[in-house]
Structure 1
Amino acid sequence: MTEQRQPLLDAYSLILAAIDDGVYRPGDRLVESELAERFGVSRTPIREALQRLETQSLLSRDGRSLIVASLDHNQLAELYVVRAQLEGLAARLASKHASIEEVRVLRDMVTEDKRLVDDPKSLSRANKRFHKQIHLASHNRFLVQQLDLVHRSMALLATTSLEAEGRGRTALEEHAAIVEAIARGDGDAADKALRDHISRAFETRLKLESGDRRRQM
């Protein structure tokens, strides 16, 4: 049973990672044969993986073709509302349950990520690792599962808010404040710091998109 399911899991993970890394961006068409060749997997697990991604609304139909889905303004706002609440809860729980070692890892991440402040793409990947570490430090498997779903949808965003001038440095300062609240065991402060962090990221993204629209006019 495991051997039969493994190709599907591999194909699914490979396609999802490619979307997350920006190899395939919103609106890009995904073709079974091309994906099978790229990843060295037969077309059957690719087809099943695409069906799963479509069910999760990460892919959408354009005629007979499957394309990487995109989020409209309302969907984006809804996503950030849910993300802020769940991430805030993760920080609150982490303030109660994170081990000394987990807090050290979070602090080290903030310190190490400072060297990436002028590299938005690398900083974006580091940002995902940082948030994932907080999810894990909550020690609540059901919350981690829900946050995984939210972050899969975040892969549908073609850009990162960290591309905005000065946002990388500010985001790291916000990360540091979140970690210190967790380290103090201050659940209220950790929750608020993380929700404020998500709110500022959303505001920055809206400003970036507004600027893009003005340039297109």
Structure 2
Amino acid sequence: MKAPQTDAYSLILEAIDMGIYKPGDRLVESDLAERFGVSRTPIREALQRLETQSLLTRDGRSLIVSSLDHNQLAELYVVRAELEGLAASLAARHATEEEVRVLRDMVEKDRGLLGNPSGLARANRRFHKQIHLASHNRFLVQQLDLVHRSMALMATTSLAAVGRDEDALKEHDAIVSAIEARDSDAASAALRAHISKAFVTRLKLDSGEVVSSV
């Protein structure tokens, strides 16, 4: 069964996010149309949109998946830490009891994904997205969507580092505990610390200092 034509953008973005297409890979319109079962027109429009968002870049006449250099990576993590910290702070103040329960359930369920970096990476995105939504600030959610779109340009997840998965879940637990306590300062600090540790792990992975489990 063919996917809806309007899904071309999200299908390509998800493929980049999941590492099917990695930084430097060339994206060919006809290949994408065949892979996703959509016509070339929405594929062409999706590629143009992704290029406008700097997720794809020109290499002659070809479009390739963009990559982040060290400075861009550092800049991205700085912005992410600030915005995510704000989201956690607002979630501690404005999240409904049901939203807090969902966050707690996510942490408990994700323990079953230890040792599964790709599965945990998907769960991690859902967890952070839930915090964004729990902030009840649509403009903040929009900005965080842009940040997380750029995160898709990382070739591997920091959760692939040996031992990082367990530490990350402990950090998630601390974030949720602060939100449950309605402590906005503690929630912000916990999430900022979580992003900082993820960044350190990312730098160590890129330098070869720590070993990937995949």
- Give 5+ residue unaligned stretches, structure 2: none
Equivalence for 2:174: 177
Equivalence for 2:101: 104
Q: Secondary structure at the match of 1:156?
A: coil
Specify the code of the residue in structure 2 equivalent to 1:27: G
Q: Secondary structure at the match of 1:165?
A: coil
Equivalence for 1:83: 80
Shift of residue 157 of structure 1?
0.2
The one of 1, 11, 14 equivalent to 2:11 is 14
Kindly, what percent of the aligned residue pairs are identical? 77
- Give 5+ residue unaligned stretches, structure 1: 1-5
The one of 20, 24, 29 equivalent to 2:21 is 24
Deviations 1:149-175 (A, max 9, x none): 100000000001111111100000000
Aligned residues: 208
Deviations 1:158-195 (A, max 9, x none): 00111111110000000000001011111110000000
What is the TM-score with the length of structure 2 in the denominator?
0.94
Deviations 1:81-108 (A, max 9, x none): 0000000000000000011111111011
CA RMSD, 1 decimal: 1.5
Equivalence for 2:111: 114
Structure 2 CA distance for partners of 1:84 and 1:8, relative to 1, 3 Å: farther
Shift of residue 8 of structure 1?
6.1
Runs of 4+ in 1 over 3 A off after TM superposition: 6-9
What is the TM-score with the length of structure 1 in the denominator?
0.93
Shift of residue 50 of structure 1?
0.4
Counterpart Cα distance in 2 of 1:43 and 1:105: 39
Quick check: 1:9–1:49 contact (8 Å CA) kept in 2?
no
Equivalence for 1:39: 36
Shift of residue 7 of structure 1?
6.2
Quick check: 1:94–1:182 contact (8 Å CA) kept in 2?
yes
Shift of residue 38 of structure 1?
1.0
Structure 2 CA distance for partners of 1:33 and 1:18, relative to 1, 3 Å: same
Structure whose residues are more often helix by fraction: 1
